[in-house]
Amino acid sequence: MRSDVIRTGPERAAHRSLFKAMGYTTEEMNRPLIGIANSANEIVPGHIDLDKIAQAVKTGVRIAGGTPVEFGVIGVCDGIAMGHDGMRYSLASRELIADSVEIMARAHAFDALVLIPNCDKIIPGMLMAAARVNIPTIVISGGPMLAGRYNGKDISVTQMFEAAGALAAGEISADDLAEMEDIACPSCGSCAGMFTANSMNCLTEALGMGLPGNGTIPAVMSARIRLAKYAGMKIMELIERDIKPRDIMTPAAFQNALAVDMALGCSTNTVLHVPAIAYEAGIEINLDELNTISGKTPHLVSLSPGGSHHMQDLDEAGGVHAVMKELADNGLLQTDLITVTGKTVGENVSAAKIRRPDVIRSFADPYHKVGGLAILRGSLAPGGAVVKQSAVEPEALKFRGPARVFECEDDAVAAILEKRINKGEVIVIRNEGPRGGPGMREMLTATATVSGLGMGKDIALITDGRFSGATRGAAIGHVSPEAAEGGPIGLIRDGDIINIDIPGRKLDLEVETAELENRRKTWQPREPNVKDGYLLRYSKGVSSAGKGAVVS
């Protein structure tokens, strides 16, 4: 076993004495050592209960004959970090998470890993580490939050972010706002819609790195605890069979995950995270592959923010495996791939069924004939941009209008709230990319305010930053190259006409080439917002959004 290097032989007596200092017995040291990467903390709703998941995992490991060794991992709450400088640290934390899991796994020679994430950057960060370290690994998330109920309707954090705009528009009162905030998030767990955290938890299952139910069983259900025990037991089988992450996360597995992504209508942030995970596995994903997969994969599930259902509905409807079964039956999944169950994709999904056709539609009756995401290219985004087309109103799928340019999200939000934005305009928020932000802030405050004002069909937003999984409307992010790299988005001026054609996969700036070249002669990159610390180091090493914003 790998862990023999820290516990076997007379020359490791000092190492064994350090284990005994912590109370480990000789019998425990003689079993496989399983690193339990636990991102529990008291600032993220999806992570506050992960101590219970970790205890269940450790029970499962012990049942199957291993010794669990728990260690901590950081985690940022995107919702709490939203709308201020704290959001600059969210995406950047992904690299620290991957690095910290790698350090702990390799420094202590663990025989295997069980990864316990639940929210936005923690899941991909841990999967990146799994691919990098490549020892037997399984992921068990904490599970989604339940939806709240207000005036007879399900609500979630989406409605709370939109409430600021609704209050400004006079649609709700301050008392309504106070009542809603007590109800919208009624339990622990990752926020209740198909936002980034739940998108990544579902894709973990689709990749083959999580057990059936990993993406959808609600956090508060006893089934989640049972699943965690099974994950702890299953890791011992993966050791015995020497099944490692790179055996599972193959090019074909990523193709499967992207197909499931399109069928579920996942967050645009998956376009950052899936390529980054693939990068760590030595696999390159071209953004144009997403359009190819989207073009032949129907959108079968419409959860909040694009629809009215939430994660608990998807779980009740049969979960991710029911969606995968529908795709497999129609030739859109490769079914002979090994997974952490020790079985193939085909074996895993063979008994799955759609239990609520109002939530998971059939291949013959999809919500949309094409997948949930689209990659746009054109003179404004030669390196690509992404939109969650399943959350765009039909009237806004084609949008042409004059630009209103802002150098940061804060200025744009102020203009929206002060009602200085007119219908038909395209809000451009730049210098918010991975390098220029730095940190590539999410723009949920901006998009939610627009929606809350009832202008979601009448205004488009474009940014070299990114949008939350809770965003809806004509919101186009990840514009590459970003402004800090000298991309065309940095040359836009107020009044320039921008043409958005989501069905045609086009994003163009209708300004003559000669004029853009003249502007480029006087263009200067904006001074960085940070002068020291981690973000400064991050900004110097991070790649473009079009390449997954990885740090190499």
Active site residues: 468
Please count the other Cβ atoms lying within 10 Å of the Cβ belonging to residue 513.
Answer: 8
Q: Is the peptide bond before 218 cis (omega within 30 degrees of 0)?
A: no
Q: Which amino acid is at 366?
A: P
**In sequence order, what DSSP letters do the residues of 185-254 get, joined into one string?**
S-SSSB-SSSSHHHHHHHHHHHHTSB-TTTTTS-TTSHHHHHHHHHHHHHHHHHHHHT--HHHHS-HHHH
CA distance 151 to 165: 19
CA distance 128 to 145: 25
The residues with which 309 forms a beta bridge, in sequence order, are: 303
Please count the other Cβ atoms lying within 10 Å of the Cβ belonging to residue 188.
Answer: 22
Rounded to the nearest 10°, the torsion over CA 234, 236, 241, 242 is: 110
CA distance 493 to 510: 11
Tell me which residue of 351, 352, 107, 101 sits closest to 245, measured CA to CA: 101
Q: H/E/C letters for each residue in 337-404?
A: CECCCCCEHHHHHCCCCCCCCCCECCCCCCCECCCCEEEEEECCEEEEEEEEHHHCCHHHCEEEEEEE
Measure CA 342 to chain center.
Answer: 26
